[in-house]
Amino acid sequence: MNKIKRETPLMKQQLSAGKPQIGIFSKAHSLELVEIIGLAGFDFIVIDMEHTALTFQQVEQMVRAADLYGLHTIVRVPDAQASTILHALDLGATGIQVPQINDARDVKAVIKSAMYPPRGIRGVTYAHRAAKYGFVSGKQYMQEANERTTIAVHIETVSAYQQVDEICGADGLDVVFIGPVDLSIALQVSPDYLEGGLSEAVKTILESCRKNGKQPGIVVNNEREYRFALEQGIPYIVWGSDLAVFKQALTSIKQLQEQIDREI
């Protein structure tokens, strides 16, 4: 069991060193679940604003809870608008994960929106949580924010897949995240990326990441997929979601209960 507060090296450093970071999609607005995930020893959560009704106020509460337990926080934003990225980072998240990217131009725009000048165009204020409400010098805060902010984008559209080399070449991008379900639907193949229809596409993406010095990320849901991720040197690993884990636990309990009822 982890201590309540963990020392947490920069996620960017961990990923760059190829050290696996194990996360989970956080879809429920439950501070208790965030705390449990941290106590269980996960490295990060991906707070999902794309497929939930979470508000930025709720996300900020979840980030606060995660901080108490040394959890890094990545916000999967609902869109790539500069204002959306600004809100996610101003509330103190470790980084962002942007879905539905189509080309390198989209990626470069995301990076500019996430970075302070001179590297980007992120709007500046010190009266927010990420800047400790102005209790650190502005120059120091902006420099450190640019150094620590983790930027991940999805490869899940046909266009993004066809331009994966250009996307992986974008300066300032940290993680190229493979969205198996959306990408398999876009390419009209099976979502099985171990031996099925998506395996060739995943191989292509991984090769592009290695060639361009980017870190790949992927969703895993079982032992075989996790082993594959480790064997392929994928450091950014998201193991399902809090709701999926909860569903699996309840289903197992219900099946056990029904089995016992039949035996008695």
Q: Is residue 176 part of a domain?
A: yes
In this structure, the number of other CB atoms found within 10 A of the CB of residue 195 comes to 10
pLDDT in tens, 214-238: 999 999 999 999 999 999 999 999 9
7-11, 78-82, 83-87, 123-127: which has the minimum mean pLDDT? 7-11
Cβ neighbours of residue 255 closer than 8 Å, sequence gap 6 or more = none
Total domains in the fold of the chain: 1
pLDDT at residue 9 in the model: 78
Look at residue 209 and tell me whether its pLDDT is greater than 80: yes
pLDDT in tens, 60-111: 999 999 999 999 999 999 999 999 999 999 999 999 999 999 999 999 999 9
pLDDT in tens, 181-200: 999 999 999 999 999 999 99
Q: Is residue 22 part of a domain?
A: yes
For the chain, what is the mean pLDDT?
Answer: 95
Task: Give exposure, 115-141, as e/b (b: 16+ Cβ within 10 Å).
Answer: bbeeebebeeeeebebbeeeeeeeeeb
Domain of residue 254, residue span: 11-263
For residue 8, name the pLDDT band (cuts at 50, 70, 90). low
Structure tokens at 102: 């189509």
Q: Is residue 2 part of a domain?
A: no
> Is the CA virtual torsion 228, 230, 232, 234 positive or negative?
positive
pLDDT at residue 6 in the model: 54
pLDDT at residue 2 in the model: 47
Q: Is residue 6 part of a domain?
A: no
Percentage, residues of the chain above pLDDT 90: 94
CA distance 16 to 20: 10
pLDDT at residue 155 in the model: 97
| 24 bridge partner residues | 45
pLDDT at residue 1 in the model: 44
Q: Is residue 78 part of a domain?
A: yes
Q: Is residue 4 part of a domain?
A: no
CA dihedral 210, 161, 190, 211 (to 10 degrees): -10
Whether the CB-CB separation of 160 and 101 falls below 8 Å is answered with yes
Q: Is residue 91 part of a domain?
A: yes
- pTM given for the model: 0.94
pLDDT in tens, 35-66: 999 999 999 999 999 999 999 999 999 999 99
Give the CATH number for residue 114.
3.20.20.60
Percentage, residues of the chain above pLDDT 70: 97
Look at residue 250 and tell me whether its pLDDT is greater than 90: yes
